[in-house]
Structure 1
Amino acid sequence: MDRHGGSRPLLVFMRDRLLNILCFIMLIGLCCCLYMLENVRYPGLIETATMLYFVLLAVVVYAAWLSIDYMRQRYYFKQVNEALERSDELGAATIIQSLATEEQKLVTRLIREQHRAYLNELNKYRRQQEMHNHFVMQWVHHMKTPVSVVDLLIQEARRQPPAGEEGWLELIGSIQEETERQTRALEIMLHTARLDKFELDLHIRRTALHELIRSSVNAHKRLCIRYSIFPKIEGEAWVETDDKWMMFVMNQLISNAIKYSKQKPGVKTLLFRLYAADGNGSGIRLQVIDSGIGIAPHDLPRIFEPFFTGENGRATGESTGMGLYLAKQVCSRLGIGIGAESELGAGTTFTLTFQTRGIHVLDE
């Protein structure tokens, strides 16, 4: 036997049939005992040479059967040994091709199915790792921009200090805006890391959705004022959800609304509309309607894909392509439906649907 557990095919074959051979020997012995009893009872009924001939014939037939069975299965054992010797390779299980019995076919089928499931799981984790590495590199690149801007603002202020209180306030506001960008980027990175262990960071309770929206809007109040965006909440609703994860989703939607509305001149609105999803009030629907630049029709189906930035993201240079993807993932885990409609140049509407038993999706 080698270090991988393999051994010679003949030894494996014979060892696997020890019980069968033992039963054959016991059967021959029983026949001989019956012969001797009958010979005692009826002397001369059966000659000893006839009995020896019977025993010899039985042994020859049985040995011939074992030989044929071994010849039929020896290639299977050789391929199993070869697969064991190459067990460090992922494709070692595919070596086994010579299948003689139904049992071998079933076992080999099971091994291949397990091998396929293992490869699928391995590919999934590889994809997750590739996505994580890509996101980290993109996130680091994204973080360099606000850091560089803050550094330039400080250098400019040292070279030529702002004149008067208004100049200083403008400088402080610019630095604060860049630090807020860093904070949002750090929040995305933190929630990305927590998403893999979502069930360990979950606390479901009855939440006033309108109050949660108001808190998220207040966190973005300075930017809304700076870019003339006026939020408005219509309606009230209470839902069973995790307020921390829901706050993350709202922050992503509001950040996107501000990001793609600030480029438009004049006064913009950001409307949050709460209403019953159907007539009997068994569900709640939230619409987040902005007055931004909208999304191109060919980009709309892909906005929830990871790392997809679209025309708007490439134009502004501020998008990582992960915000809406993470929002979609969180909503899926909370049992919340999310969709989007948009008209290029007129604005975008995100719709969140809270079902009464939506959180039970976690049990699937």
Structure 2
Amino acid sequence: MIWKFLIERSSWILLFVCIQALYLLIALIDPSISFRSLLYAAFLSLLLFIFFLILRYSKETKFYKQLEERESNFDLTTIPEHSSPFESLIEESMILQIEELKQQASNNKRTMEEAKDELLSWIHEVKTPLTAMHLMIERMEDQKTKEQLTYEWLRIHLLLDRQLHQERMPVITNDLYIEKVDLQTLAAEEITPLRSWCRQKGIGFDLHLESREVLSDAKWLAFILRQLLTNAVKYSTQNDIQINSYEEDGKIHLNIRDKGRGIYPQDLPRIFEKGFTSTAQHQDNASTGMGLYLTKKIADLLLIAITVSSTPGKGTSFLLTFPKQNEFVKIRGM
């Protein structure tokens, strides 16, 4: 701050030096003026000027130090008190700008909330004809056409479901309901809509759940399983998708393993990033890069650790590790 102050007041310092140099120059030119006396006066003026700068530094930098230390927020109470007309102008300008920014932020928030409510309403409205369409497809006699239409219906259903959960993400903590969830029942419910798709691809599910009961939110845990299972089916060609659970170190582990194309090593650290698809399959337009991102965000809120291992061409394994009950109670304050 000292260096900044000296730079700011460099014009003062330069003016003082020029005036003293002018006096000394006059003393050198005019023999009638005592050069020694004027040099002594210049020395005393220098001391007085240094003392003046020290006083001004203490007075002028107080306001700007407080500005520098102030947090970047909309709190008007943190604006430092002014002690000069120029500082008063700065204070008034900051207050006006903060009030304007607060108004803009409020308007933007209200607009976003309205757009979010409209989108959620639209999703719920679309689900009604989508349900009717599914019932109509189920009554079809042509099995091949039925399976094709069911697959396309499932894609729309999953996209809407993911969008719905994405919009609810900011308020997920208000929607959590922690209870004991049966993994066998939950997995079966998520596998059922995928059966026609699996039949088309010649894929089955091999469930072996030694430990079935976990403490979690059934709705959001179902979304996690839905994303992992649809990914497993999407990227598998043949062979069964294995789902097994076991208990180790007092924690329940759920493993979902497919034998699909796998994930390349350079992609593994980035698969949970928002919008990331693949470096090797970058032309895959069917992938949005949002499924695993949402999965990881929700899993973190539910205190579920996700570990991924994969070998290109041999398959991918997602391991979900559920927290101990006492850990969940301690962190969530239940």
Note if contact 1:270-1:289 (Cα within 8 Å) is conserved in structure 2.
yes
Note if contact 2:147-2:196 (Cα within 8 Å) is conserved in structure 1.
no
Which one of the candidate residues 214, 232, 241 is aligned to 2:216? 241
**How far does residue 71 in structure 1 lie from its aligned partner after superposition?**
9.7
5+ unaligned residues in a row in structure 1: which ranges?
Answer: 1-67, 91-117, 137-164
Tell me what 2:126 maps to. none
**How far does residue 358 in structure 1 lie from its aligned partner after superposition?**
4.4
Note if contact 2:306-2:321 (Cα within 8 Å) is conserved in structure 1.
yes
Is residue 319 of structure 2 the alignment partner of residue 333 of structure 1?
Answer: no
Distance in 2 between the 1:348 and 1:195 partners? Answer: 26
Tell me what 1:210 maps to. 184
Question: Which residues of 2 match residues 138-287 of structure 1 at below 5 A?
Answer: 168-236=142-210, 237-261=212-236, 264=237, 267-278=238-249, 282-287=250-255
Report the residue type matching 1:340 in the other structure. V
Tell me what 1:342 maps to. 310
Aligned residues: 227
Distance in 1 between the 2:60 and 2:216 partners? Answer: 62
Normalization by structure 2: what TM-score? 0.60
**How far does residue 201 in structure 1 lie from its aligned partner after superposition?**
1.1
**How far does residue 173 in structure 1 lie from its aligned partner after superposition?**
2.4
**How far does residue 315 in structure 1 lie from its aligned partner after superposition?**
4.1
Note if contact 2:147-2:197 (Cα within 8 Å) is conserved in structure 1.
no
Note if contact 1:252-1:324 (Cα within 8 Å) is conserved in structure 2.
yes
**How far does residue 255 in structure 1 lie from its aligned partner after superposition?**
0.5
Question: Which residues of 2 match residues 92-111 of structure 1 at below 5 A?
Answer: none
Tell me what 2:59 maps to. 73
Report the residue type matching 1:255 in the other structure. T
Give the percent of matched residue pairs that are identical in Structure 1 and Structure 2: 30
Note if contact 1:207-1:239 (Cα within 8 Å) is conserved in structure 2.
yes
Report the residue type matching 1:226 in the other structure. Q
Normalization by structure 1: what TM-score? 0.55
Note if contact 1:336-1:358 (Cα within 8 Å) is conserved in structure 2.
no
**How far does residue 216 in structure 1 lie from its aligned partner after superposition?**
1.0
Which one of the candidate residues 80, 86, 94 is aligned to 2:93? 86
Tell me what 2:285 maps to. 317
Note if contact 2:180-2:215 (Cα within 8 Å) is conserved in structure 1.
yes
Distance 1:81-1:247 versus aligned 2 partners, 3 A rule: same
Distance in 2 between the 1:80 and 1:250 partners? Answer: 59
Superposed CA RMSD: 3.5
**How far does residue 311 in structure 1 lie from its aligned partner after superposition?**
3.6
Note if contact 2:150-2:196 (Cα within 8 Å) is conserved in structure 1.
no
Distance 1:358-1:320 versus aligned 2 partners, 3 A rule: farther
Is residue 312 of structure 2 the alignment partner of residue 359 of structure 1?
Answer: no
Q: Which structure has the larger Rg?
A: 1
